[in-house]
Amino acid sequence: MDQRLQLITLGVRDVAASKRFYVDGLGWSPLLELDDVLFFQVGPGLVLSLFGADALTADAGLPDPAASAAALPGRITLGRNVPTEAEVDAAVAKAGAAGGTILKAPMKAFWGGYHGFVADPDGFAWEIAYNPGLVFADDGTVRFTEVEAD
């Protein structure tokens, strides 16, 4: 897990309600908009994603907030993209060795890439991903490309 963060994912109760706030209310322009997820570029090489909370909880292996009175970190993940699947394996292993809790061992992701999730000591979940469909250019711009999902 290198010192780099490119993607912040908020698990939201209602993506349509989030869209009314961020797009209609604040005037933000999505980078990509699907039925159940919105992506915004929010800085050089930086993307904020709004994703259904239940889907995020399931996908990232997050603890169910309702099952824990403490539930400190809630439904949010911090994302780091690496150039290969092998680097996902290595980064997840390194974070586990550093005392992180592996929430989801590296595996094929439903969106066509490869990823794993590791929680830091407070349970904040980092996603380490190889995503051939999401390109972070050297100049800080970000774009999505077509990828063949399995």
Q: Report the 10 Å Cβ neighbour count for 5.
A: 14
Distance CA 128, CA 89 (A): 9
Q: Is the dihedral of CA 103, 117, 55, 7 positive or negative?
A: positive
Q: Report if residue 100 touches its own copies, rule: CB under 8 A.
A: yes
Q: Report if residue 37 touches its own copies, rule: CB under 8 A.
A: no
Q: How far is the CB of 86 from its own copies (least distance, A)?
A: 18
Q: List the one residue from 61, 74, 112, 132 that touches its own copies (CB under 8 A).
A: 74
Q: Report if residue 143 touches its own copies, rule: CB under 8 A.
A: no
Q: Report if residue 20 touches its own copies, rule: CB under 8 A.
A: yes
Q: Report if residue 90 touches its own copies, rule: CB under 8 A.
A: no
